[in-house]
C-alpha cells in the first residue's frame, strides 16, 4: 500500500485532529463586545484546552506563494491520488473552498469544491467513502475495529496525517509545534472571523535565516478553536498563505449529512484498510513548544516506512532531506514536479539539480534523486545537500 494512501486515510479516520475545541459557552460574544485581555500564555492555554465535538462550516484557502496555479479537480476520489504530492501541490496554489461537517469522533464529511466539480470524503463510524463528481468515481473502505480504551488512543488507525485539505486546526498545530525560545509569541489586536470574536496569537521567528515573517492564529474567544491561520513571508505585502472559516456553526450537523450512496453509473472501487500500528507508533496530541516536536514535521516523518529523512538546523531554519529511493516520498514529489509542465518550468536549473522556489518554502531536487525542503533561502538547501 503506497504512502500517499496512508497519508489520506487518517483525514477520514481522525476527525478529532481537524477540530478539537470546547463547546461549553458556545454562544459567541456579541458584535462590539471586546474580549477580555489575555496574555500569550493565557491564549495558548485557551487554545490547548478546546475540544469541539460538533461543528459545520466553510473554510476558504488562499495561496500567494508564487507557484503557477494548477488545474483543480483531477480525478482524486481514490485515496492514493487524493493525498499524494500532486493534490498537495495543487492545494498550495490559487484559491480553494471546502465545507467541513463533524459530529463526534466517528462522523465527518469534507467537501472540496472545485470548479464545476466536488470531491468528498465521508466517514460514518467505520465506513469511509471517497467521491469525485468530475469523473463520477468512488472508493470505499471499512476501517478495522480498534480498542478505544488504549492509552493515548482515540480510535484512529494510523499515524498523524498530512491532510489533503489543511484546516485552521491542522495548520495551527503544525506551527505551534515549532514554537520554542527562537519564537516571539505575542497577542495582536482582536479580530472577527466567521462572525466570532477571536484573539490574534502571533508567532514571529527571532531569526533572519527563514523565509517566514509571521504566523497569526485567530483563536476563538469563547471556545479556543482556531478559526483562521495567516502566514506572512518576508518582503511580501499580502499573506503568502491563509486558511480560515468564512462561516461556522457549532450545532450538530444533520445526521443525513454523513450518509453516502454512490450515484448511478459511478465507478466504485473497494479499498483495503491499513493495518493498525503498534502502540509505540501511536502519536499524541501535538504539543506546544515541546522539544520533541521541533521540527514537528521531521518527528512525524520518522513514523513512515522507508529511509529516514535527515534534519539540518533547528526550529524555523530546519532543512529536511529525503534520501534517494525509487519508491520513497522524495521520488513521488520529484515525479510530480517534473511531469507537470507548469511546475517543471517553475523549477529552475541550479548547480547539481533543480530548485522549486516559493515565498515560504524552497525545494531542492538534486540530480542524484535526493530532495531537500525548508522555509529557508536556497543557499541553505544547497549547503545541506553538499554536507549530506
DSSP string, 163-195: -SS--HHHHHHHHHTT-STTEEEEEEEEEEETT
How far is Cα 375 from Cα 232, in angstroms, rounded to an integer?
12
Cell numbers 485581555 label which residue?
37
Is 113 within 8 Å of 97 (Cβ atoms)?
yes
Is 103 within 8 Å of 152 (Cβ atoms)?
no
Cell of 97: 473552498
The CATH class for the domain spanning 3-165+241-270 reads: mainly beta
Cell numbers 456579541 label which residue?
30
The predicted pLDDT at position 116 comes to 78
How far is Cα 110 from Cα 17, in angstroms, rounded to an integer?
13
- Identify the DSSP state of 229: E
The predicted pLDDT at position 43 comes to 97
Whether omega before 295 lies within 30 degrees of 0, making that bond cis, reads yes
Mean pLDDT by 10 residues, the chain (388 residues): 35 31 35 85 95 93 76 42 46 80 91 86 92 93 65 37 66 90 95 97 95 97 97 92 96 96 94 61 34 36 58 91 71 67 75 89 89 92 89
Domain boundaries, the chain: 3-165+241-270, 292-387
Closest by alpha carbon to 132, among 150, 116, 154?
A: 116
Closest by alpha carbon to 210, among 191, 189, 234?
A: 234
Would you call 287 exposed, middle or buried from its count of C-beta atoms within 10 A (0-12, 13-18, 19+)?
middle
Q: How far is CA 136 from CA 70, 83, 97, 123, 229, in A?
A: 21, 18, 20, 19, 33
Give CA angle at 264 (263, 266), nearest 5°: 70
Is 83 within 8 Å of 162 (Cβ atoms)?
yes
Cell numbers 535565516 label which residue?
209
pTM of the model: 0.75
Amino acid at each position: 500500500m503506497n504512502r500517499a494512501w496512508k497519508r489520506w486515510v487518517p483525514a477520514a479516520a481522525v476527525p478529532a485532529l481537524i477540530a478539537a475545541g470546547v463547546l461549553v459557552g458556545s454562544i459567541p460574544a456579541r458584535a462590539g463586545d471586546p474580549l477580555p485581555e489575555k496574555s500569550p500564555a493565557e491564549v495558548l492555554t485557551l487554545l490547548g484546552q478546546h475540544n469541539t465535538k460538533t461543528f459545520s462550516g466553510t473554510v476558504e484557502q488562499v495561496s500567494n506563494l508564487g507557484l503557477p496555479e494548477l488545474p483543480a479537480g483531477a480525478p482524486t476520489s481514490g485515496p492514493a491520488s487524493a493525498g499524494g504530492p500532486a493534490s498537495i501541490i495543487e492545494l498550495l496554489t490559487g484559491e480553494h473552498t471546502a465545507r467541513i461537517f463533524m459530529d463526534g469522533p466517528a462522523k465527518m464529511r469534507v467537501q472540496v469544491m472545485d470548479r464545476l466539480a466536488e470531491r468528498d470524503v465521508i466517514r460514518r463510524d467505520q465506513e469511509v467513502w471517497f467521491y469525485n463528481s468530475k469523473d463520477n468515481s468512488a472508493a470505499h473502505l471499512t476501517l478495522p475495529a480498534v480498542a478505544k480504551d488504549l492509552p493515548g488512543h482515540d480510535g484512529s488507525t494510523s499515524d498523524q496525517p498530512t491532510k489533503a485539505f489543511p484546516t485552521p486546526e491542522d495548520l495551527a498545530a503544525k506551527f505551534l509545534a515549532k514554537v520554542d525560545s527562537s519564537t516571539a509569541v505575542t497577542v495582536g489586536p482582536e479580530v472577527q472571523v466567521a462572525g466570532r470574536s477571536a484573539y490574534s496569537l502571533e508567532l514571529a521567528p527571532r531569526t533572519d535565516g527563514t523565509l517566514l515573517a509571521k504566523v497569526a492564529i485567530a483563536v476563538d474567544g469563547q471556545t479556543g478553536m482556531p478559526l483562521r491561520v495567516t502566514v506572512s513571508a518576508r518582503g511580501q505585502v499580502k499573506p503568502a498563505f491563509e486558511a480560515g472559516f468564512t462561516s461556522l456553526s457549532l450545532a450538530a450537523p444533520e445526521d443525513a449529512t454523513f450518509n453516502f450512496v454512490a450515484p448511478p453509473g459511478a465507478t466504485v472501487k473497494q479499498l483495503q484498510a491499513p493495518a493498525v500500528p503498534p502502540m509505540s507508533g501511536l502519536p499524541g496530541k501535538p504539543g506546544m513548544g515541546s522539544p520533541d516536536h521541533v521540527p514537528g514535521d521531521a518527528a512525524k516523518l520518522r513514523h513512515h516506512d522507508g529511509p529516514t529523512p535527515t534534519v539540518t538546523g533547528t526550529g524555523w531554519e530546519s532543512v529536511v532531506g529525503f534520501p534517494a529511493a525509487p519508491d520513497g516520498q522524495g521520488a513521488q514529489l520529484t515525479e510530480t514536479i517534473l511531469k507537470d509542465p507548469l511546475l517543471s518550468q517553475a523549477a529552475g536549473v541550479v548547480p547539481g539539480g533543480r530548485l522549486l522556489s516559493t515565498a515560504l518554502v524552497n525545494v531542492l531536487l538534486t540530480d542524484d534523486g535526493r530532495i531537500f525542503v525548508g522555509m529557508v533561502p536556497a543557499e541553505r538547501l544547497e549547503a545541506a545537500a553538499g554536507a549530506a
